[in-house]
Structure 1
């Protein structure tokens, strides 16, 4: 069960995502439990995932936003092992790297950035090559049609494509959002992998990103600027004000 702070925070984040959709991503909480969310990533153009749709799941802890969620991708993609916890700084693999200012927008944008990159971490598929990923992209629709969660929360391929088109065209009031153009003027979470021996360290070097695919736009889920969490009297937990533009580090 979500805490009052977590319930309020996630409700606000869902409303913001509906008002300002994240390009190439649909996400929503389940009706019975706001801590359990499903997402669909539509493979961006000029990537191995173009034409594919990938269902995944994010489960927030009851302590959210003071603890990170677990992240899984369910649809076979050739990038991640299906239904396997992903080791990222924005996931529960490394709670020491979690920043309470991050929210669903940061998590999803960081996941897409990592997915279309070349770095590897725990939970990645290291056996499938580019040809295999493109083949899985075409097969993803048949897999989704057999998945009860995809059908329940996202209906079908056509419904997802329609929603994605609307999200891309209406994001921030623009007629169309081009993932290549937005990367020139907007920062997104970078993908940096740290070895197991140095996972406890917060310092790391950035890994090269894909030449073809630029990082998508980060859409903050809170209008307030990033700031250091305020500490109340009697050592109460800091009040968190939604997403920030801090760059999560991907850990191994």
Structure 2
């Protein structure tokens, strides 16, 4: 676990998407350790809820963020359930490996629905409350693929480049309202996402050399815990080894 100061975020209300595994799970655990009330958004939040001790200040919400027709309303319900929202961690995402020339339009749209449009909807569902409170922190989990292109990862890169642009624009729009909107761009992270890609993952990929979800979660908590007068627009964190 971490050296997170227990109780530092007592009374704060947080929403974490993609909370059942990987980076999202680790961030949720750290927020709970710090005393925050945490809403766990995932298609299967029970996966993390079953691991939490009795009495944890967490509630799961089974939401498929790829179904963009219902994301905004569902997130608004969570905000109402919590009586407000102070922290939003937009972590949910997916990948696609393959040359763009062969990518079906349906797969392109599916990826952008989850990696970009669902985040836009989460922002629209939470920012009005943060504005009314004149405070809030949003961390969008992008990727080093938001900074440079990679062959066979074109759609993923495009979605993360777009997410970075969205983050930078929203950051400027919300600063006058006391809201910090930040991004984090990790290099390769050893998460269950790789398991979903099957034989498309090159055998040369060394997952042991990747960042751990815990390391990225610690970096996200650095952003969450920034003093009121400090801002990190974009946090790039890379493995200290070659993953592929």
**TM-score for the superposition, normalised by structure 2:** 0.28
**TM-score for the superposition, normalised by structure 1:** 0.27
Which has the bigger relative contact order, CA under 8 A and spacing at least 6? 1
Q: Which has the higher strand share?
A: 2
Q: Which has the higher helix share?
A: 2
